[in-house]
Structures are given as structure tokens and as C-alpha cells.
Structure 1
Amino acid sequence: MKKKSYLLATDLDNTLAGDPAALTALFEFHEESKVEPALIYVTGRHLDSALQLMEEEQLPLPDLWITDVGTSIYEATTLEEDSKWHDWVNENWQPSSILRVASRFPFLHRQDLPQTKRISFTVEPGHAESVHLFETGLKSEGIPHHFVFSSDRDVDLLPERSGKGAAVDYALRQYAAQDVNVLLAGDSGNDAQMLSLPYPAVIVGNAQQELDELPTHPLIYRATTNFAGGIQEAWDYFYDFSGIKKPIG
């Protein structure tokens, strides 16, 4: 991974995956350009679910997995978890305290996950106010957490040091070449932290409206093409694949 000059860190559902034809075109574009970027898959799914999606969508094996909205990092071939990241992000993690506060809000329905690296809920339609009251309750009790509300229905509670952006920033420093040419890609609110890192980033054309709240910035490209097509559009926008970035801004 450290030998590669380009790197794509991308969300999976409705970003890289979602349009098989666009996905095929993206990887043909890489092949024709003689560029094989390092791949980091950055997903809200837990690892088993992400591996299943990779098989279903016939995605290439990445170099690194970032799962559970940035709470876990795995080397892709061995599936060995990065213990340094795990220990650091979980130092102040209090899942039982979070669940105690969540029990006050009947319109939040806990998602069935195989572990408590994150705690996730689905909120009933029309009850977004419960989400804000839940977040307020956590803050008033001083419970350390990172709160993500996305797609108008999904609530993710993460260790306060985690999140997709924090995990990608760590992964780039630990695993990538120092001068690597990066592209970040996402479509929903749980990608906002990642898309706000100081690297070229693309919001794909089919993105959730909540990403409209991200400020206009030279490093954030809003694609007109959907799914993987938006990623291809952004490669063209930011890079000429000669190892030199195009002027930004």
C-alpha cells in the first residue's frame, strides 16, 4: 500500500456500490489510465456484513477495511484488527451508559449488531426531535461519545475519538505513502467528517441532501454523476494521473 501513488478511500453503499455498470466503468478507467489506486473501504457496516457486500457486488479486495463508522480498522488480507486504533478509540467508551439514556426514547429502535463497537438505532419517521433530545441527554450527563445522525433515520453512537474521518486520517498516516494522491468519496451524513479532511473529496451525485450542509470548499467536489460514476468524475477533476495534482481553487 505504501508503494502506491494514488489512494481511494470510499464509502460502499450508494457510493462505490449501487450501479454495476458505473463500477465496471470506474475500474476500466483505472486500468486504461495505468493507475491502480490503493483502496480503503470506509463503511458503516460491521465487518461480516461488509465482506458479504463485497462478494455480492463483486468489489475488488481493498488494502484496508474501516468498518462500523470508523470504530474498527482491519488489514484486508489477514483481517487482523489494528489493536493500537482499537485501544485508543475505546479508552472512554461507555456503551451501557448510552443505552441507559436511550431507553428514555421509545421512538428509537436499536439495531441488531454482533458487538458494541458502535451502538446504532433507527428512528421512526416524524420523530427526529427524539434524536436531538437523546443527544442533549448524553451531553448533559457528560457521557463521552461521537454522535452521527444520517439519512433522516439512522443514529450511530461511536467512541468519541472515532468516526470515519478520524479513522481515515489515522490510516493515511499509518499505512499510506507520505506523498500519496488521495481521493475521498461518500454520499451521506456519516461521511461528512471524512469528506471534511484536507484532501480532495467527492460527494457523489446521488448523495443525501444532508451533505448540502457541508460548506463550499475547493477540496470538495460535488459530482453530477451518481455512484461510482461520481468517483470517476472526481478523478478527472482533481488529477491528471501524471503524479501531479491539478490546480485546486
Structure 2
Amino acid sequence: MQIHNTFLFASELDGVLLPNGIFTAAVGCLDRTRQLLERLKAASYPVVYVTSHHLSLAREGRETFGLPEPNYWICNLGTEIYDAFGNADQGWERMMGSPFPKEVLLNVLKDDPRLTVQEDEHQGARKLSLYYPGPVDDSLRTWISMRVGQVAEGTRLMDSPDGASGMTSIDIVPANAGKAPALSFLTERLGLPRTRVFFSGDSEDDLEISMSGVCGTLVGNAPGPVQDKARRLAENTEGARLTLSRGYYGDGVIEGLRAYDFLN
């Protein structure tokens, strides 16, 4: 496994680098993933782990599966960036603005009892996460956005369905937050063009990064509807680059790296 030229490696943690999804990983997959990450680190290539969770929960997952520490963490749906030592990026925090008035937000949303607050480990200072029992349509998105807009300016709504449970995760974050803006922030700081940025994901909330002009890959264990949507978006998004791997988890990541000639 030989690495070609300098590039930034970024990947979703759960369900991609960590083989903790509903599919069974191939024999040796986790070992191959560790070896890849250790070689990237040894070659001084920047490694970024991306997660929808807060830092402590993400670190717990990394430790459980024995992956090396990254150079950077993008956490809580791109509302937080940390370095390898767990120090928050002050520049990114300033861009995100003040923490959310969560009790105020919950109060304006209480008229729809179907919206329930997610567990504390899914929350962030600038991220309010809710559950909704079923698919989310445009009318609900509009209603939530209007209610939130009454008490908080500059927010955006993100929703991601869970095919297994039938629930939808609804997240309210700053308008300029997100995995894609956070990765772009790091990329610009490191002075790398998007053609030298690799990202691998597996879920619908990874598609924004995948369509942003980086070298994007969806691993083979990504749900079928997510893969179908990714194909449609890639066909209609100028500058989008996307490969769909057949391998699951880290094997799909390695397959994607080879497709972009970052590995041989």
C-alpha cells in the first residue's frame, strides 16, 4: 500500500472507519483500516475524523476500535473543530457565533409533540437535535424554520432519516455550519486545493461534502437510497466528483483512495 503525493484525508467515523454498522466487515478490514491511517500519519499527511457526535463520544469510539488519533476532529455536524489534543478551534468558534438558546428554541417548537429532544450526547453548544417519528416533508421543515426564526437568526435545518428505525434526526445548527464548511475551513488553512482533499462517507448528511468538489467516496455499506441520491446529485452538480465503492467500511475507503490514485 503506497501513498501518492500529499493530500488531506477526511472520513466519517461511524459506519465508515469504524465497522459498527448493520453489515459485517470483511475479515481483516479493521486491520487494513488501521494500517492505512498509521501510514498516513507516519507520512505527515493531515488526517481528519468527521462525526455527528460530540468529541468525547467520538474519541470513545476511536479508542474502542484502536484507531490512531487524527490531526483534527470535525464534530457535532460541523459546528465544532478540534485539534489532536482536544483544543477547540477559536477561529471556527467565532464563525459559529454564540451558543444556542436551547430552552427558548424548544419552547417555540412545543406545539408539535411529535418532535422530541435527543439524548444529551447528541447535543452541542450550537446544535439542537430532535427526533421525528417518520419522514420529514417540506411543510414541517418550513414550520420549524419559521418558528426557530422567531427567536434565533442565522440558523439552518438539517434532517437525516434512519432507515432501520424509521425515525428522522432533525438538527438545528448555525447557517454557516456543516461538515462541508468545516472541512473547507481546514482545507483553506492548510493551503490545499479541493483536488487534493479526499472524503469518505456513508450517510445522507455526508453528501454535502461529497458534492463540494473534493474527491468524494461513498462506501459500499451506505444505504441504497443514499447511493441513489448521491448518483443523481453528482450528475447535476457542477464540479462534483464521486465514486461509489463496493467494499464495506475501511475497505471501501481504500477502494476510493485507489480510484483517485492516492494509493496503489
Residue pair 2:38, 2:68 contacting (<8 A) in 1 also = no
Distance 1:180 1:201, change over 3 A: closer
Q: 2:176, 2:101 → 1: CA distance? A: 13
Aligned-residue Cα RMSD (Å) equals 2.8
Structure 1, 205-214 or 85-94: larger mean CA deviation: 85-94
Could you say if the C-alpha distance between residues 31 and 17 of structure 1 is closer, same or farther in structure 2, counting changes exceeding 3 Å? closer
Corresponding residue of 2:229: 213
Instruction: Say if 2:176 is the partner of 1:150.
Output: no
* Match in the other structure for 1:139: 145
Shift in CA distance, 29/45, structure 1 to aligned 2, threshold 3 Å: closer
Residue of 63, 71, 79 corresponding to 1:63: 71
Q: Which residues in structure 2 correspond to 1:1-80 (within 5 Å)?
A: 5-18=6-19, 19=25, 21-28=28-35, 37-76=45-84, 78-80=85-87
Shift of 1:240: 4.9
Contact 1:5 1:177 in 2 (8 A): no
Alignment of structure 1 residues 128-207 onto 2, 5 Å: 128-129=135-136, 132-141=138-147, 142=149, 143-152=153-162, 153-175=168-190, 177=192, 181-207=196-222
CA contact (8 A) 2:227 2:244 kept: no
Structure 1, 61-70 or 209-218: larger mean CA deviation: 209-218
| Structure 2 residue identity aligned to 1:6 | F
Deviation at 1:178, TM superposition (A): 5.5
What is the letter of the counterpart of residue 56 of structure 2? D
CA drift at 1:9? 0.6
Q: Structure 2: state its 5+ residue gaps.
A: 20-24, 163-167
Does 1:231 pair with 2:231? no
How far is the alpha carbon of 1:157 from its aligned partner?
Answer: 1.4
C-alpha separation between the residues in 1 aligned to 2:191 and 2:82?
Answer: 14
What is the aligned residue count?
A: 235
* Structure 2 CA distance for aligned equivalents of residues 211 and 93 of structure 1: 33
Partner of 1:245: none
Is the partner of 2:208 in helix, strand or coil? helix
**Residue-by-residue CA offset, 1:177-200 (whole Å, 9 max, x unaligned):** 468832101111111111111111
2:22 maps to none
The answer to whether the 8 Å contact 1:11/1:42 transfers is: yes
Contact 1:98 1:138 in 2 (8 A): no
| Native 8 Å contact 2:129 2:169 kept in 1 | yes
Secondary structure of the residue aligned to 2:234 is coil
Scaled by the length of structure 1, what TM-score is found?
Answer: 0.82
Displacement of 1:118 in angstroms is: 0.7
- Amino-acid identity (%): 23
Quick one: which amino acid aligns to residue 142 of structure 2?
A: T
